[in-house]
Amino acid sequence: MKKKPISLALQGGGALGAYTWGALDRLLEDERLEIKAVSGSSAGAMCAVVLADGLHDGPEAARAKLRAFWEGVAQAGRSNPYRRTPLMAFLSAFQPAWLQQNYAALWAGMTSQVASPYDLNPLNLNPLREMLGELVDFERVRACNQLQLFIGATNVETGRIRIFRTDELTADHVMASACLPQIFHAVEIDGVPYWDGGFTGNPALFPLFDVQETSDIVIVQIHPIERSGTPRTAADISARETEITFNASLLSELRAIDFVARLMDQQKLPEGRYRKMLIHNLSEGTALTPLGTGIDLNTDLNFFNQLFETGRSAAEIWLGSHFEAIGKRSTVDLGAMFRRAPEGGEPLR
């Protein structure tokens, strides 16, 4: 049976990236699919390079490599008695509720408001980089011919996204994509400072437009677009602000894809110069965690395994419902998202 080619777009989200691990595990298990390209930022970028390294030895090796990575993250989280290392700061994905955990964390949080990582971490120690460098063979990643990689980072000076591609990737490029500026020094590459790619592309979709083998983009989304109700506490407000911020670039790109598709349907674009992209969303459908609970700080392996199973289950449901649509049509209704009137409101434009 001929395999169906797809591209993947992996969101960043700290510890919640274990959901992406589960989704990838199930997709790799399906012999009907072939992953041709992956775009990722932050935790999504880490999953992407681990996946590419493992695929040198086949899908089963990639599944094993992803498990080893997340088990390594859990082990690193257990190594600190206060559980507030730079690793934990990354995994919190800017969530403020960790302040409620203990007095040591509270002190650290207050300090971070008046001191930068250049003051608090002058040696720029980063356990994530050490672990990634030990686990991933970047020579194999750069030589990977099974799929194309697109890793997003934010240029600090211009505020624009920079996409790093397969043949140039090192641990520094991935850490640039995962650089939270409140915690880590900016990562300099060729003299240019970079911060987390989630600010400008979470994940970036536009690099996948040029992947000729497929028009299907499967987004593995971990930040919910919608939540009911108005946040009231400081922690909940900040957490929801983060979700909105980290989804803003994704929504902008989806709106552009929808706009181009409509112009193509109306035959208003030159024939042959544009492609209609087919968009799919492999999300749980509901938020993975409540607002402001700080549960995404949890590096316990049991928590990761719960997210893993949630991701696998979501992928299983998505495959059962939408596999036949791959290569034929989008399974995300962008018209409903952007053009139809929400209840009690005006049409989105």
Helix, strand, or coil here: 266?
Answer: coil
pLDDT confidence tier of residue 291, bands split at 50, 70 and 90: confident
The pTM of this model reads 0.87
User: How far is Cα 62 from Cα 51, in angstroms, rounded to an integer?
Assistant: 5
> CA 282, CA 9: separation in Å to the nearest integer?
10
pLDDT tens per residue, range 120-140? 677 676 778 888 989 999 999
Burial of 347 (0-12, 13-18, 19+ CB in 10 A): exposed
Question: In the structure, what pLDDT confidence band is assigned to residue 296 with cuts at 50, 70 and 90?
Answer: low
Q: Which residues contact 85 (CB under 8 A, 6 or more apart)?
A: 76, 77, 79, 127
CA distance 218 to 330: 10
Residue range 47-85, pLDDT digits in tens: 999 999 999 999 999 999 999 999 998 887 665 443 444
Please report the pLDDT score of residue 298 as a whole number.
66
